Structure 1
Amino acid sequence: MKIDKVKSNLTYIHKVEVYKFNGKYYTQRAWFFNELSNYYNINLYCVLYTVDKLNLDSVEELSDNIVFYNFFEYGTTNIDFIKNFNKYKSKLSNIDKKNNIYFIHYPDGPGKIIGLLLKNAKLVIWVKSDPLNKFLRLGSFYKRIIKLFLFPFYFIYNKLISRIIFKGNLIFYTSDIIFNKKNHINQIEFISCSNFNKNVSLIKSEINKKIVFVGSEKEQKGLNILLKALNNINNNVELNIIGLDSISKKENLRLA
């Protein structure tokens, strides 16, 4: 007789936008949540919209096994979270901490505050970027100069926060990001590969003059660096961009 393994409850708290359309739920990169739902009972605490129209070419359908909650109804930024701290704290306190695993992103949005509120729960943290490097790198020239003077205080703040949140919890790092090496249950390089990447038939071995960029125009994605590099080579290279309908930033338009 086959005995099915009982799934654990996983409460995934992330400011991902989910759209309810014709009784179904959709989001970008739905495959990731759908894959998790094969192993866990997923409660997705997200930004939830009910819409009458939806471009189904830009989203994917989410599994019927996932339960959705409009958690970020008061906003998704740190300021929004601080202004409505008691409301969000109340939402989190209503979840059964003993029988739930929590999954959060760090330092994405209010991830630090959520981590502090859940520090005594079973917590899985996906560290998606280095907050210290990001703090210095992003912003205008003058903002980066100001940040350089503020950096010692920001460094101490992040070290203390991460030490509290990470302690005794399971930490996944994206790529080679290692922000804090101590007090974790584990420390694993975590690269999320969609089903597209698993389709071997799509891989071609021949060398050609085509480059594919997948991502947005966010500074950390490096589209501007790629465009600068292509402008400095003599060969005619075809660039295909996936993830953008059009280029909007002035610097990128100038380089394209």
Structure 2
Amino acid sequence: MLKEAIVTRYVTPLREGGSLPGLVEADDLGTYVMKFTGAGQGRKTLVAEVVCGELARRLGFRVPPLVTLDLDPVLALAEPDQEVQELLRSSAGRNLGMEFLSGALGFDPLAFAVSPEEAGRIVWFDALVNNVDRSWRNPNLLRRQGEVWLIDHGATMIWQHNWPGAETSAARPYDISDHALRPFGPDVAKAAAELAPLVTEDLLAEVTAYVPDVWLADEPGFDSPDDLRRAYARPLLARAAVIHERLQGDQ
């Protein structure tokens, strides 16, 4: 189970993202970047954040700690921005927060460099989860104290938006031609040899268990949240063994 906290103050919207995440404070005295069930693709974006974020953490990547944040829609009354008001009102209950990394800078591939080994690990992971949002235009990487952190995994596992076609979707190659780290000569083969054996049924069961039942309930075609958790795990397990051989645009 993820750590739980209650939102005490909505600080400001973060308009860089299309789903309008917000900076909030919580009753544990933490400051979080909050993503809302009422925004964008709703709860499926939050499921992707949890599954991919916790999987990345267990594979040795730096990812901001995740928490669930309980939101009282009464907070909307204090917001002058109508768009924010509507978002808060439509997101009552459990949402997702990522710890705010003070002092972190957005990763600029023209200003910073990473080794082929680290680039290879990140490209391999993005291929595994089919991350379509790690381009040079929007790297979704942070640099803090000389280290690279992975953020924003809501645009991953796109097969979850069409479960009847999930198997076909998950079997497709991954295009790295636009990837932010492609210019650094990512050593994907080395990353695959190191990381693929770590992606096991047990590990995927562990990370999918972190997704709250409320975000998995009432999904058409599934009898229970655990049934849906297994559906999330199956494509990742299959891709882990072969995805390094199915990269496009690496020339």
Judge same fold: TM > 0.5, yes or no: no
Bigger RCO of structures 1 and 2 (CA < 8 A, at least 6 apart): 2
**TM-score normalised to the size of structure 2?**
0.27
Which structure is larger by alpha-carbon Rg, 1 or 2? 1
Q: Which has the higher strand share?
A: 1
